[in-house]
Amino acid sequence: MRVPLSWLREYVDLPAGVTGREVAEKLIQAGLEVETVEQLGGDLKGPLVVGEVLSIEELTGFKKPIRHCFVNVGDANGTGEPQEIVCGARNFAVGDKVVVVLPGAVLPGPFPIAARQTYGHTSAGMICSARELGMGDDHDGIIVLPPEYVPGTDAIELLELVDEVLDIAVTPDRGYCLSMRGVAREAATAFGLPLADPALLDVPPANSYGYLVKVADPAGCDRFVARTVVGVDPAAKSPIWLQRRLQKMHVRPISLAVDITNYVMLEVGQPLHAYDRNRVDGPIQVRRAEPGEVLTTLDGQRRELSAEDLLICDNSGPIGLAGVMGGASTEILDPVVDAETGVVTGTTEVIIEAAHFDPVSIARTAKRHKLPSEASKRFERGVDPEAARAAAQRAVDLLVLIAGGTAEAGVTDIAAPHPVRTITIAADLPDRVAGTEYGRETVTRRLQEVGCTVVGADVLEVTPPTWRPDLTDPNDLAEEVIRLEGYDNVPARMPQVPPGQGLTAAQRMHRRVGVALAGAGYVEVNNYPFLGDAAFDALGLAAGDERRRTVKLVNPLNDEEPALRTTLLPGLLGALRRNVGRGNTDLAVFEQSIVFQPDAEPKVAPRPAVDRRPSDAELAALNEALPQQPRHVAVALAGERLPSGWWGKGAQASWADAIEAARVVARAAGVELTTRVAQYAPWHPGRCAELVVAGTDRVVGHAGELHPRVVKAMHLPERTAVMELDLDALAADGERRVEGPTVSGFPVATQDVALIVDTAVPAAEVEAALRDGAGELLEAIRLFDVFTGEQVGEGKKSLAYALRFRATDRTLTADEASAARESAVATAQQRTGAVLRGA
């Protein structure tokens, strides 16, 4: 919203020395977003005057038409003699009044003006176009003024070329500031001055002989005012002051009737529409579109209408998209001059429409037809329904004043009943919200300045004004008080944290996991929690996979990712792919965050009030409506896990590293994991481990290498390894005490054992059997060799383990260590069918 300071002064008697920047500072303190303060005519210097064209000589022999003119500029040139000027424009004639800049002046740019020789003549000045004066982008021809202006009149003042314009970014909740009336109200409050409200007009009451209007959809149109002006002079043009105000607002002047409707909309905030009454067939009707209806709008586009579109119609059908754009069939005609008689024909009878439409309906129509307009922008944000009568009256007054028309006595005003909105607010609520003391008198005064009616003492009954549909709750009113008192006056105080509340057990565990993975060489990443079906397809998940059942977002940021994630892998692998694409080939990354698992029957969350804390029952209902949100941790590895160098060849990341990452997480959580072979997408069917909490059958995750098809689909390095683990399931048994290792001062006894088993037998099962069989004397066990070949037989493998035995109270004898080893081997033979190698 652009706000010329000269126009603003009509409604607020600002001090004479106040600048646009000072006004902007006050409005910013009141909560408005003033983006810029534009200085119009800041580098403009006269003399710039009105001139009368006395003679025109057409010069020939040049590449373009040139005219040698003599122009009467009065006494502005110091001599009173006609000014000699060479000009290339052709849209003026002898006797026209034009704008002339004389030598010594400076035009915006800056562009100094001096007399010079051109085309064989002296040009002492210039006849100006709108663009040369900074009035707009129109450079098709020079400005032709109305004939009543006297040569030599100062054109800088006449055309209001020097001004300051505030450019305000109006937020959706402050639609009333899309008008001079709304901004003036804020400025008056900010400066503590009275407001001259442009909507306070004497308006005749509705009567039965106004233009006939039928509203078939009162929910879509709850107010419709129609006024008629006859005897309008079709040759009448918008006066300079009106054109200049529109131009400063970046609105192009078109014709008198259209300019007046635009002017009143910018002034009062109520969009208007003007119809040529002679082109309207019968009564005006407001209804929804019917199947198959079409409308050609003022922009010349033929639009197929939807049943949700609210229309303005007559007996011939649709004549306008309500609140968005009018139809071409009833538009105001451009004046046409008869070449022989000089008689001007055009629109002489005008119907003014000022209506109030449902914001949601208008917003949907504008979006559906991709037709944003100044009118729809205001209706979407909320227009004052009580301003319609005043806006229509203002337009009628201007048509009568400028175009010589006559206002018909008939007044149409159809209004649906509006319940009075009353908000109950504690007088000290703004104090409690801001943490400072305003007092009841200040709260009452500020709410009244907003336009509210306030009744009460400790508890206030507040009726918001009709132009503030955004005020619906007590906290809205508290915000108004706080912003008018100044956000910079709100004290900065640290919140008082109740003593004795630290991290929960789960939070401590989550931190330990992150620190442990970082210590193991992993880098943490954070990804957006959104995904789509394409992510599941890339992972190769089956159609019935539980992870494909997602929570859908009502208003997603991206149509291709409309759901919340059920696994961390898509985001993590996407981060891995981006890093590899930028040359980071050796990677180990992890993410720890929540995933979203919808319930079988989703529940609808209640909407609690905002004027109080929700009750325990309401909080429980809100929590119950949420999807399950377990916390997961996942890692991804690619490239070298141990780097190559002068010391030798490094080691590539593999499935074993992914499993070890799971063990790192488990140790940080105080839990022991066991592994077993599994087939689970998106992992490689032969290189996938199922992660199980030791001593239970509770599966908490998977680790291994990705399936080659997944690697190819996601453009990842070969043999990328990943792990994903459910932290909540891992710690389901509660927090466990972390116990340090037992330290013994007695020597260790080492025994090696090599066992031959079937290749299908997991090494983890053999290790578990050896551990159980060795008993309490076993301190540690380590797999140090895996061998396959002819020596062990086809379909077999040799697993070599180093067993460390130690007692806490004595030195073990060789017989004790050997007995423990033999017991471990016997248990492995019994459980896994192992055979002692070399036996």
Q: What is the pLDDT of residues 20-71, one digit of tens each?
A: 999 999 999 988 999 999 998 888 888 999 999 999 988 888 888 888 999 9
* pLDDT at residue 496 is higher than 80: no
Over residues 454-494, the pLDDT tens digits come to: 999 889 999 999 999 999 999 999 999 999 998 888 888 88
Nearest to 156 by CA among 82, 95, 103, 106: 106
Give the pLDDT score at 738: 62
CA distance 377 to 366: 9
108 and 39 Cβ atoms separated by less than 8 Å = no
Instruction: In whole angstroms, give the CA distance from residue 453 to residue 420.
Output: 11
pLDDT for the residue numbered 46: 80
Instruction: Look at residue 838 and tell me whether its pLDDT is greater than 80.
Output: no
Say if residue 238 is exposed, middle or buried (CB neighbours under 10 Å; 0-12, 13-18, 19+): buried
Q: CA torsion angle for 561, 564, 569, 571 (degrees, to 10)? A: 50
Tokens matching residue 377: 């922008």
d(CA 699, CA 696): 9
pLDDT in tens, 638-652: 999 888 888 888 889
Q: Cβ(781)–Cβ(768) under 8 Å?
A: no
Edge-to-edge strand order for the sheet containing 551-552? 530-531, 563-564, 551-552
Q: Is the pTM of this model over 0.95?
A: no
> What confidence category does residue 418 fall into, taking pLDDT thresholds of 50, 70 and 90?
confident
Which run of H or of E encompasses 820? helix 814-832
For 344, phi then psi, to 5°, come to -100, 125
HSE (side-chain half, CA atoms, 13 Å) at 109: 11
Instruction: Round the CA-based radius of gyration of the chain to a whole number and report it.
Output: 41
Alpha helix locations (H) across 93-173? Answer: 155-158
CA 610 to chain centre: 23
Mean pLDDT across 656-668? 94
Residue 612 in this model has a pLDDT that exceeds 90? no
Burial of 495 (0-12, 13-18, 19+ CB in 10 A): exposed
Average pLDDT for the chain: 91
pLDDT of residue 660 exceeding 90: yes
How much is the pLDDT for 492?
85
Cα 500 off chain centre by: 40
Q: Are 146 and 240 in contact (CB under 8 A)?
A: yes
The strands making up 423-426's β-sheet, listed across from edge to edge, are 423-426, 459-463, 453-456
Q: What does the pLDDT average to over 759-770?
A: 89
CA dihedral over 264, 266, 272, 274, signed as positive or negative: positive
- Helices 655-668 and 505-519 meet at what angle, rounded to 10? 140
Collapsed DSSP state (helix, strand, coil) of residue 613: coil
Which amino acid is present at 383? V
Using a 10 angstrom Cβ sphere, with 0-12 exposed, 13-18 middle and 19 or more buried, the burial of residue 781 is middle
**Pairing of the two strands 121-123 and 116-118:** antiparallel
Instruction: Say which amino acid occupies 678.
Output: A
Q: What is the pLDDT of residue 249?
A: 92
Q: How far is CA 465 from CA 199, 418, 434, 655, in A?
A: 14, 13, 24, 68
The token duo for 825 is 């081997």
138 confidence band (pLDDT: 50, 70, 90): low
* Residue carrying the six token digits 């389901």: 732
The pLDDT of residue 429? 93
- CA dist 37 and 19 (Å) reads 10
For residue range 700-749, list pLDDT tens digits in order.
Answer: 999 999 999 999 999 999 999 999 999 999 988 876 666 667 788 899 99
pLDDT at site 140 = 67
**Distance of alpha carbon 675 from alpha carbon 763, whole angstroms:** 9
Indicate the SS3 state at residue 45: strand
Residue 346 confidence (pLDDT) above 90? no
**C-alpha angle 254/256/262, rounded to 5°?**
70
pLDDT digits 0-9 by tens, 195-238: 999 999 999 999 989 999 999 999 999 999 999 999 999 989 99
The answer to whether residues 331 and 353 touch, using CB atoms and an 8 Å cutoff, is no
| For range 346-354, the mean pLDDT | 93
Number of neighbours of residue 420 by Cβ within 10 angstroms: 7
Provide mean pLDDT across the span 561-579: 95
Q: Quick check: helix, strand or coil at residue 830?
A: helix
- Token pair in block for residue 711: 């690697």
Share of the chain above pLDDT 70, in %: 99
Torsional sign, CA 108, 114, 120, 121 = positive
Under the banding of pLDDT at 50, 70 and 90, the label for residue 666 is: very high
Is the backbone of residue 734 left (phi > 0), alpha (psi -120 to 50) or beta? left
Q: How confident is the model at residue 281 (pLDDT cuts 50, 70, 90)?
A: very high
Query: Rounded CA gap, 839 and 299, in Å?
Result: 96
Residue 647: what pLDDT?
A: 87
305-319 confidence digits (pLDDT tens)? 999 999 999 999 999
User: Which range, of 101-110, 285-294, 375-384, 728-737, averages the lowest pLDDT?
Assistant: 728-737
Here the contacts of 15-24 (C-beta below 8 Å, separation 24 or greater) are: 15/191, 18/191, 19/164, 20/164, 20/165, 20/166, 23/166, 23/187, 24/166
Strand segments, DSSP code E, in 103-184 are: 106-107, 111-112, 116-118, 121-123, 126-127, 144-145, 163-169
Task: State how far the alpha carbon of 131 is from the alpha carbons of 36, 167, 212, 247, 427, in Å.
Answer: 21, 20, 45, 11, 55
All residues at 6 or more sequence positions from 288 whose CB lies less than 8 Å from its CB, including other chains: 216, 217, 220, 307, 308, 309, 310, 311
* 758 contacts: CB under 8 Å, gap ≥ 6: 795, 796, 797, 833
- Rounded Cα distance, 124 and 115, in Å: 4
**Bridge partner residues of 703 (DSSP):** 689, 723
Inter-residue contact 101 to 44 (CB < 8 Å): no
* 584 exposure class (CB count in 10 Å sphere: 0-12, 13-18, 19+): middle
Angle of helix 256-268 relative to helix 240-248, nearest 10 degrees?
Answer: 50
Phi, psi of 744 (to 5 degrees): -115, 145
Q: How many CA atoms lie within 13 A of 237 on its CB side?
A: 11
